[in-house]
Amino acid sequence: MKIVEGVYYSKDHEWVKVEGDAASIGITDYAQHALGEIVYVEMPEIDDELNAGDVFGVIESVKAASDSYIPLSGTVTEINEELEDSPELLNESPFESWILKVKIADSSELEGLMSPEDYKAFCESESH
């Protein structure tokens, strides 16, 4: 399982990379591995306002369809249109293949997310 430094992690297996007041959000290596071969990604609309914990999309794999939850509140500024034609990018390079970008509404919500070390321990406890 690959874990990247310099990003935050959620208990729903999303990663968050912060740049100023913006954040890129995707799914972790752990999540893509659990899902299996990803065949479709449903994404939000640009300018959607989402609150932490809201469903922002659905990731469908050959195994199941899984809701994706936004780990912090914000307004969608961009979606990764490459995923519409190539959803398998989430399997091939989950940390390079962000799903959406948001303008962060409340940066204090980042305090509720996990560090790479905490996320690693969380995943190890889940797999036992």
pTM, whole model, 2 decimals? Answer: 0.95
Q: What is the side-by-side order of every strand in the sheet holding 74-79?
A: 8-9, 14-19, 22-27, 100-104, 74-79, 49-50
CATH fold for the domain made of 8-107: OB fold (Dihydrolipoamide Acetyltransferase, E2P) (2.40.50)
Domain range annotation of the chain:
8-107
| Tens digits of residue pLDDT in 22-74 | 999 999 999 999 999 999 999 999 999 999 999 999 999 999 999 999 999 99
Q: Which residues contact 28 (CB under 8 A, 6 or more apart)?
A: 3, 9, 13, 14, 15, 94, 95, 119
Q: How confident is residue 126, by pLDDT bands cut at 50, 70 and 90?
A: confident
Q: How far apart are CA 13 and CA 30, in angstroms?
A: 7
pLDDT of amino acid 9: 97
Given a contact cutoff of 8 angstroms between Cβ atoms, the answer to whether 80 and 99 are in contact is: yes
Given a contact cutoff of 8 angstroms between Cβ atoms, the answer to whether 48 and 124 are in contact is: no
